[in-house]
Amino acid sequence: MSMRRTPPQSHDMTCEQAVGLVTAYLDRALSLADSDRFEQHLAECLHCREHLKQIEAAILVTGEIRADDLDPLAREDLMDLYRHWRDDAFRP
C-alpha cells in the first residue's frame, strides 16, 4: 500500500498518521477531535478504510491475546518485527 504523505483537501491527516491511530481508534482511546479527524480521513481514503478492515478482521480471527499468553522469546520476536516495520513505514 502506498501511503499518502500529504492530507486530502478537506482535513489535515495523512495516511501515515491515520495508520498510527488505528489501534487507539479501535480501543476508543482517541479524543473526540482526533476520532473525528480520523473518521474524516477514512471517509475520503479507500486505502485506510481497507487497512482498518484488515486490522478488525485480524482481531476477530486472533481474539484477545495477552502478553502473558506469549512465550517471552515469541513476544520479543513480535516486538522486533513491529519495530522494523515501524521504522520502514515511517522512514521518509
More confident residue, 2 or 68: 68
Q: Tens digit of pLDDT for each residue in 39-86? A: 999 999 999 999 999 999 988 877 777 777 778 888 888 888 878 877
Q: Tens digit of pLDDT for each residue in 7-37? A: 445 568 899 999 999 999 999 999 999 999 9
| DSSP E strands, the chain | none
Q: Alpha-carbon distance 78 to 41, whole Å?
A: 29
Q: Alpha-carbon distance 66 to 86, whole Å?
A: 21
Q: Is 35 exposed, middle or buried (0-12, 13-18, 19+ CB in 10 A)?
A: middle
Is residue 69 classed as helix, strand or coil in its secondary structure?
Answer: helix
* Predicted model pTM: 0.61
Give the model's pLDDT for residue 91.
Answer: 64
- Cell numbers linked to 47: 486505502
H/E segment holding residue 36 = helix 32-44
